[in-house]
Structure 1
Amino acid sequence: MAVGNQGARREFGEHWRMMAAASIGFSFTAVITASTGLFIEPLSREFGWSRTLVSSGVSITAVLTFLGSPLFGVFIDKWGTRRMAIPGLILMAGVIASLSLLTGSRIQWFAIWTLYALAALATKSTVWTAAVNSTFDAGRGLALGVVLSGSALAQGIVPPLTNYLIDAFGWRGAYVWLGLGWGALAVLLSVVWLRDGYDISRRKRMAEPACSASASLLDVPGLSVSEAWRNPDLWRIAISTFVIMTATVALIVHQIPILEEVGVGRTTAAFYAGLAGLVGILGKLVTGVLLDRYPARWVGGITIAATSMTYVLLLWPGAPTAVIVLAMMINGYAGGTKLQLVGYLTAAYTGMRKFGTIFGAMASLIAAGSGLGPVLGGWIHDTWGSYEVLLWGGFGITLLSSLLLFGLRAYPSWSGEAGSPGAG
């Protein structure tokens, strides 16, 4: 549906504050991923850790998120997003700041990242995607783009900011500033403005106690969990999501060392990474507009396929500056849309009846790919002494992901009765 129609304009006029809070909240959850590459060198130098170990923090989070996401998805259906996001953001801010207290103990490292994983479960993409999908209909694609641009905002600001903070305050001070500074803003906006469709439904149920017997807050059409499990289109979305997350998160976490490997200095590499993140905001907004106008399978397939060019360009021996910048711009524009696409596609193919539970399972695959990618990237470098194998693998994986999306059927219309989709 066109973004410029009256329904979409009304939705944005009524709910822009919720979008702002969700976007900043989601941006905070991307701070660690976007900054890890800049901490690899100082942590390895101070404690003698391998790149695989330093990268393992993100992977620990991913493993625990993989295990816990379905359960937390159920919690969203029962309690809504606000009651998940605010405590999670507070815990996340404290845990990021606590990384400044590292002593070189691996047990301490693993313990801190285990706590971070608990915060991540309450604040990852499931929460923010559910907030948007429960609130928007006519402008859902663009609304998802705006909110999920939070991660692109973080990828644009965090690398140069972290580089500055490390130079000015050391790596310990950088962790404190990132955790308590960015985190305070995210918590404040969520407390004041994070009011979505789940809260509207909760107020309605309080006014009509007879409605409170349902296990889900939202009384809307959609597939049951068992129906979703048997849906072949959801399997395509799930596999596509897993493989693209494996490739792209590996590239995000290791992008600074990859750029250094082709002759780019750390400060310049941080600038390029930041620029790519900012271009990602444009990618999400344009993709959002396209999703509201054209079939998501075509929008997603073409966008993800474009990401494969990043890996080819970074493999160019002695690549000139223009080629490296182009590679980062393509990755920033196209690669940053993956969460937006899976959130939109999941809601389109399942409806919102059990969205939290179903997308919680999708989030497990997102976490699995996010966890495998960084460790795989570190292992590849430790084994072969370069990132060339990683880049070739990323090229093939992104093409596979796009082909899976191209093969999706038309999605149903959920304007009828619950559980009874019409033809799409």
Structure 2
Amino acid sequence: MTAKQEWAANWQLPLLAMLGIAGAATFGYSSGVFMEQMTREFGWSRAQFSAAFTVQMVLGLIVMPFLGRLVDRIGPRRIGLAGICIYTLAFSALGLANGTIWQWWLLGAVQAFGVAFITNPVWLSSVIPRFHASRGLALAVSLAGIGVATLIWPNIAAFGIQHLGWRMTFPAMAILWGAIMLPFAWFCLIDPPAIEVPTGATEAKAPKSDYLRALRSRTAICLALAGGIFASVTYGIILNLVPMLQAQGMTLTAAAGLTSTMGIFVIGGRIATGYLLDRLPTRPLSIAVFVLPVIVCLVLWLFPGNSIAIMVAVALLGLATGSETDVVVYMIAQRFGRDIFATVLAVIMSVFALLAATGPLLAGSIFDQYDSYEPYLMIGIPLALLATLCIALVPDRPVAGVDAGITV
């Protein structure tokens, strides 16, 4: 099939994936808006508040590999439909916080369970097998959900807090997303096509990719470390960007509005990267993407309070966030078989989650100790360079002993 034929037949799948991924990112991209209100009301430190995100990421490390294996076995449709309902309830429950920090962390754990059912492996397992000529662009549209999340959730959260209070804003955001997603997924979410069995072989004897070998490969390890360290640096900035700007004199609405503009650059960076992945060598493009957080940290560190510098940093942060997952998922699809795609993606994303959880916690702890985010930005520079080195070390060839790549 040509790229045009692929989109004519399957256009609804990347759009559904985009909305699903946007929902999974609700807490990550709106928690900074809630942070000031809740820490002031309950007397929590910012590190204590951010630890709920850490709990979510650590539990994701445990749950997501099992979920990815389940997606490979039974398909994404049943998991996705159930996940929409589970996540809507779990996110709504965050409004029940009563000021006890352990209860807040427990609510974060409940939300983590819901997030696992609507993360990337669920949606992309339906998208990727149906796109080959235009896989990079299909991935870009799907993963643009992060940009959508960045664009809408801070503004919706700020509006809700001002008109409903922070407690009611949690269920309002969850129900809004669930009401859109459930009917869309019911009619459009489909399982991937069956893997063809060689002539003369039974389905039980069809060749299977070795997912344990895949997970031990240099490719998987480098991708996991590169993406995880990258996420640690960027999530630490993103989740603290609103309070960071408030500390420089901005109002909540202005800070949330400026942060939400990052979503435009996330979407633009994602679409541009997806387009280029279909046309350029992966390695130089991936290195260019992974070095962007170095520039972001330098600009925010060297030019604090400078409005032009802040806008440049927000734009580059959006481009970086929008491009990184495109590159990693595209490499996984190139180098691993379809029958283990969701498993490999889920495990690598679990490492992302674990390392990403350290960023907001570290940023919050540094602010609590130094009353400044500058030390975190200084630490972020060598970490981002390490992530760039890891992505540069990913081998060009598919993993030996594993069926190479996903084809239509």
Q: TM-score, normalised by structure 1?
A: 0.89
Q: Which amino acid aligns with 2:129?
A: S
Aligned partners of 2:84 and 2:60: how far apart in 1?
A: 15
What is the aligned counterpart of 1:342 among 319, 325, 328?
Answer: 328
Over 3 Å counting, the alpha-carbon distance change for 1:201 and 1:167 in structure 2 is same
8 Å Cα contact 2:218/2:395 also seen in 1: no
8 Å Cα contact 2:140/2:326 also seen in 1: yes
CA deviation after TM superposition for structure 1 residue 229, in Å: 3.4
Q: Which amino acid aligns with 1:50?
A: S
Answering whether residue 407 of structure 2 is matched by residue 419 of structure 1, we say no
CA deviation after TM superposition for structure 1 residue 41, in Å: 1.1
What is the aligned counterpart of 1:136 among 121, 127, 131?
Answer: 131
Which residue pairs with 1:25 in the alignment? 20
Aligned partners of 1:41 and 1:201: how far apart in 2?
A: 49
Which residue pairs with 1:327 in the alignment? 313
Task: Name the SS of the counterpart of 1:353 in structure 2.
Answer: helix
CA deviation after TM superposition for structure 1 residue 418, in Å: 7.2
What is the aligned counterpart of 1:150 among 114, 128, 145?
Answer: 145
Q: Which amino acid aligns with 1:392?
A: M
Task: Name the SS of the counterpart of 1:354 in structure 2.
Answer: helix
Alignment of 1:123-202 (within 5 A): 123-197=118-192, 200-201=193-194
Deviations 1:364-416 (A, max 9, x none): 101102222221111111122211111112222222212222233323499xx
Answering whether residue 359 of structure 2 is matched by residue 373 of structure 1, we say yes
Which residue pairs with 1:299 in the alignment? 285
Task: Name the SS of the counterpart of 2:239 in structure 1.
Answer: helix
CA deviation after TM superposition for structure 1 residue 74, in Å: 0.9
Q: Which amino acid aligns with 2:104?
A: W
Which residue pairs with 2:341 in the alignment? 355
What is the aligned counterpart of 1:112 among 107, 113, 138?
Answer: 107
Deviates more, 1:292-301 or 1:148-157: 292-301
Q: Which amino acid aligns with 2:194?
A: S
What is the aligned counterpart of 1:10 among 2, 5, 8?
Answer: 5
Q: Which amino acid aligns with 2:39?
A: S
Answering whether residue 244 of structure 2 is matched by residue 251 of structure 1, we say no
Aligned partners of 1:42 and 1:29: how far apart in 2?
A: 23
Aligned partners of 1:147 and 1:114: how far apart in 2?
A: 26
CA deviation after TM superposition for structure 1 residue 343, in Å: 1.1
What is the aligned counterpart of 2:265 among 279, 288, 292?
Answer: 279
Deviates more, 1:326-335 or 1:338-347: 338-347
Over 3 Å counting, the alpha-carbon distance change for 1:11 and 1:196 in structure 2 is farther
Aligned partners of 1:201 and 1:420: how far apart in 2?
A: 17
Alignment of 1:84-99 (within 5 A): 84-99=79-94
Deviates more, 1:168-177 or 1:398-407: 398-407
Aligned partners of 2:399 and 2:133: how far apart in 1?
A: 13
Deviations 1:90-133 (A, max 9, x none): 11111222222222233432332222111111111222232222
Task: Name the SS of the counterpart of 1:97 in structure 2.
Answer: helix
Deviates more, 1:280-289 or 1:177-186: 177-186
Deviates more, 1:103-112 or 1:285-294: 103-112
8 Å Cα contact 2:87/2:117 also seen in 1: no
CA deviation after TM superposition for structure 1 residue 247, in Å: 0.8
Aligned partners of 2:352 and 2:117: how far apart in 1?
A: 15
8 Å Cα contact 1:155/1:273 also seen in 2: yes
Aligned partners of 2:52 and 2:125: how far apart in 1?
A: 26
8 Å Cα contact 2:136/2:278 also seen in 1: yes
8 Å Cα contact 1:237/1:342 also seen in 2: yes
Which residue pairs with 1:224 in the alignment? 210
Aligned partners of 2:34 and 2:204: how far apart in 1?
A: 49
Deviations 1:281-329 (A, max 9, x none): 0100000001111122221110121232111111134442111111100
Q: Which amino acid aligns with 2:215?
A: W
Aligned partners of 2:191 and 2:294: how far apart in 1?
A: 36
Q: TM-score, normalised by structure 2?
A: 0.92
CA deviation after TM superposition for structure 1 residue 15, in Å: 0.7
Which residue pairs with 1:3 in the alignment? none
Alignment of 1:50-61 (within 5 A): 50-61=45-56
Over 3 Å counting, the alpha-carbon distance change for 1:318 and 1:398 in structure 2 is closer
Aligned partners of 1:37 and 1:222: how far apart in 2?
A: 44
8 Å Cα contact 2:335/2:398 also seen in 1: yes
Aligned partners of 1:35 and 1:309: how far apart in 2?
A: 24
Which residue pairs with 1:83 in the alignment? 78
Q: Which amino acid aligns with 2:290?
A: I
CA deviation after TM superposition for structure 1 residue 211, in Å: 5.8
CA deviation after TM superposition for structure 1 residue 141, in Å: 0.9
Deviates more, 1:134-143 or 1:259-268: 259-268
8 Å Cα contact 1:40/1:51 also seen in 2: yes
8 Å Cα contact 1:156/1:277 also seen in 2: yes
Over 3 Å counting, the alpha-carbon distance change for 1:408 and 1:418 in structure 2 is closer
Q: Which runs of 5+ in 1 are unaligned?
A: 1-5
RMSD: 2.4
Identity within the alignment, %: 28
Q: Which amino acid aligns with 1:276?
A: M
What is the aligned counterpart of 2:224 among 227, 238, 243?
Answer: 238
Over 3 Å counting, the alpha-carbon distance change for 1:45 and 1:261 in structure 2 is closer
Task: Name the SS of the counterpart of 2:38 in structure 1.
Answer: helix
CA deviation after TM superposition for structure 1 residue 226, in Å: 3.2
Aligned partners of 1:93 and 1:355: how far apart in 2?
A: 26
Aligned partners of 1:412 and 1:359: how far apart in 2?
A: 15
